Amino acid sequence: MKNNDRVNDKRKIMSNQTFEKQVNSASSNIEVPSFKERAHDALQDKKLQQALSVIPSGFVSKRAKAKAALPAFSDLSDQAVRIKNHTLANIEKYLEQFEAEVQNSGGQLHFAPEPQDALDIINEICSKKDAKFIAKGKTMVGEEIGLTHFLEEQGYETVETDLGEYLIQLRGEMPSHIIAPAVHLTRDNIRKDFLNTHKHLSKDRNLETPADFVKEARLILREKFINADVGITGANFLIAETGSSVIVTNEGNGDLCQSLPKTHIVIASLEKLVPTLKDTSVLLRLLARSATGQSISTYTTFATGPKREEDTSGPEEFHIVLLDNGRSKMLGSEFAEMLRCIRCGACLNHCPVYQNLGGHAYGTVYPGPMGAVLSPHYFGEKAKDLPFASSFCGRCNEVCPMQIPLTKLMRKLREQPLNKRPPFAKATMFLWSQIAKRPKLYNFAMKAGLPFLSLASKQNWLMSIVPGVKDWQKHRALPEMTSTSFQTAWLKKEMKRKKRAQKKAKEQNNEQ
Amino acid sequence: MNNKPQASSSSSDRRKQFLKNIKLAVSQVNLTQEQERKLKEDTETYQNFTYQPLEKNVEEKLLQFKEILTTQSAEIYECSETKIIEKLEEILKEKSYGTDVLIGKNAKLNQLKTHSKNQVNFIEVESFEKNNENYNLSCALTTAFAAASETGTLFLSSGSANPTWLNYLATCHIVLLDKNTLCQTYEQAFALSEGRSRGEASTSQQAFPPRSINMISGPSRTADIEQTLTLGAHGPIELIIIIYTSESTV
């Protein structure tokens, strides 16, 4: 039962907005579980573990193949870093150009310093258009500000049209992966949700193969596209020289969202800006290969302004809502490099912590190494323990096409005052540092302690009498240890060697 | 870390606040000399970069294009420009899709059709209407202005000849591609649209960029159900490409 409550709590922290509302309203005593607690739950969840087991064979191996098939990959990656660094260094200029170009092509650019601004702007557009139905493409920035939930609250019938997003919308969950939001679900989960939601369909219908599910979702969602008054999409890139927004999808849902309804709203954050179309081509080559291991996603679409006068179809209005929400602060800080992120998800897929826990354990919409750096910036206090959700193995640094030093940034976050270590840990570290600075004392301590550790590595219960290691020991066993330290053993050997050398020298002397 | 200022209300206030935050951030950027030097160097080299894979000739491009698109579950046919309608009929028959095909205001296709006595029935659509039954049709045909062989990608642009939604709503999407417009890289393909010298059957010379440019590299797909690739998520289940050689070869 307690477990269930925790799962519900997890759902409640769907996003910044909903979370804050929860906390503010009735000052309820919902306690947000810590990363540690959520991680514990995730490891116990057999269904989740089953769902996660496909990640290494899927994303990881496919990415390796796709990268190997493109000899220029690392050159392109170097160039991509230059593109983003250059853009960020000249962000004011490119923002100005982007704004002018959006207006030139007949679109409108709205600035949203804070999440609430973005929500208000979108609400205003929708209410002006007298919208009832809204079809939403997948947008992580939308997730970040709790857009869908907000629109539903305002009374718009809002449907997520990316299949993964739709699946989690049915469950009231947040995405567990930035490019595969429903990666934590198995067919059993989905079957239950479909039977509960699509009640007008026959109860005995076949829901076995993935194709069965996809077919049903296609049928249901098609109607939503066709009836939508407003389509909302995210953006993978915003191009300054043309005022375009670019989306990348495999399903084509984003394209229907932005071609059928009369109004198209793009919600995107400021670091999506790139100077030119040419730059976009460079980044596109890295994105899909790093994300799903495809050489390119099925659909990449550039939207510029509303429909032209001579066009027979297309949206009549085109809005771009540009969100800051903490990004400008990052820009001026030592975390600026994080703004290069193109949200491919490679760091999630390759992270041993993510692979074992899935995304929900992180408690925010951005999980994995990238989330461990971003979430504390966007969500503050409640994501403060995420920089500790890493073993610092460094695979994330290696696979990042934008060469973001993720572990370095996590380490910096760990040092921040927000992340004060508990007094006991602090005292222990202090004591250790004092001993380590004094070689004689250190050697003495090792000599004294090792026989005990050696015994404890064979008799695990012995560790339980040492204060402070209980938690550590829960999931780990001591490696088997010898009772002497390397230094002692080496010294012994060295003495023997010297003795032998002396003996030899003596013998030689005698012979002479 | 995240102390939130009160949300401002008017759009000009928001704009002001937004740009002020950026300005402040830029003034706070504190680079070491080494970083400064690197950034300067990057800005210089950044401008000079061009993606240049080993250049392929027409036949090599075609081979690469076909190979990649086939692995991405598309079907490819080739014919001469005058035989397009015949080819189309053949495909429709083979797949038993009937004779109806949705098209935009495509003068060229209609012209081609009058020259043949075949039974393909083009249905011209204009705007998308919520209660129009046409979206249930199985086949739609549009034309690509270019293609890039590097990833088997078609480039289509919106316009009255090519309403964007036609690319996505039909079960089977058929795309016409002039072999002369088959490029190797994305950059080359975009350049064709920017130049717009060809004006593919469209009535007007639109300014670049059009409302939509669609890069399409296969039929619609999803892996959201247990990471299993499944075709036909929301868009077409089938993508068929007819590559034609035009009489007026460049």
B43 Cα to chain A: minimum distance (Å): 6
User: Shortest CA distance to B125 belongs to which of B136, B112, B113, B116?
Assistant: B136
- pLDDT tens digits for range B73-127: 999 999 999 899 999 999 999 999 989 999 999 888 888 877 667 788 898 887 7
Cα separation, B114 vs B53, in Å, equals 43
Question: Which residues of chain A lie closer than 8 angstroms to B235, CB-CB?
Answer: 251-252, 255-256, 298-299
Q: Which residues pair with A264 in a beta bridge?
A: A231, A318
Question: Do residues A348 and A369 touch, judged by C-beta distance below 8 A?
Answer: yes
Note the pLDDT of residue A17. 42
Q: Which residues pair with A110 in a beta bridge?
A: A321
Note the pLDDT of residue B197. 37
- pLDDT, averaged across chain A: 89
User: Nearest Cβ partner of A112 from B14, B28, B225?
Assistant: B14
- pLDDT, averaged across chain B: 87
Q: A110–B14: do the CB atoms touch at under 8 Å? A: yes
Give yes or no for residue B43 having a pLDDT over 90.
Answer: no
Q: B185–A120: do the CB atoms touch at under 8 Å? A: no
Closest residue in chain A to residue B50, using alpha carbons only: A278
Note the pLDDT of residue B133. 66
User: Nearest Cβ partner of B25 from A83, A331, A380?
Assistant: A331
Give yes or no for residue B2 having a pLDDT over 90.
Answer: no
Cα separation, A507 vs A509, in Å, equals 5
Q: A251–B234: do the CB atoms touch at under 8 Å? A: yes
Note the pLDDT of residue A456. 84
* Best residue in A184, A299, A320, A418 for a mutation probing chain B (most B CBs within 10 Å): A299
User: Nearest Cβ partner of B165 from A181, A260, A379?
Assistant: A260
Cα separation, B68 vs A66, in Å, equals 13
Cα separation, A250 vs A402, in Å, equals 22
Cα separation, B57 vs B79, in Å, equals 19
- pLDDT tens digits for range A10-39: 333 434 444 444 333 333 344 567 898 999
Q: A187–B225: do the CB atoms touch at under 8 Å? A: yes
Alpha-helix residue ranges (DSSP H) falling in A179-333: 187-197, 210-227, 253-259, 277-291, 327-331
- pLDDT tens digits for range B45-77: 888 999 999 999 999 999 999 999 999 999 999
The dihedral built from the CA positions of residue A82, A88, A90 and A91, taken in this order, carries a sign that is: positive
Predicted TM-score (pTM) of the model is 0.88
The region of weakest confidence among A294-303, B32-41, B128-137 is B128-137
User: Nearest Cβ partner of B221 from A251, A259, A296?
Assistant: A251
- Is B105 near chain A, with CB under 8 Å? yes
Label residues B18-30 b or e (16+ Cβ within 10 Å = b).
bbebbeebbeebe
Q: B220–A117: do the CB atoms touch at under 8 Å? A: no
- Is B49 near chain A, with CB under 8 Å? yes
Cα separation, B22 vs B9, in Å, equals 19
Q: How many distinct helices (H) and strands (E) make up chain A?
A: 25, 10
Give yes or no for residue B29 having a pLDDT over 60.
Answer: yes
Q: Which residues pair with B178 in a beta bridge?
A: B244
Q: A255–B235: do the CB atoms touch at under 8 Å? A: yes
- pLDDT tens digits for range A163-222: 999 999 999 999 999 999 999 999 999 999 999 999 999 999 999 999 999 999 999 999
Q: Which positions of chain A have pLDDT values less than 50? A: 1-30
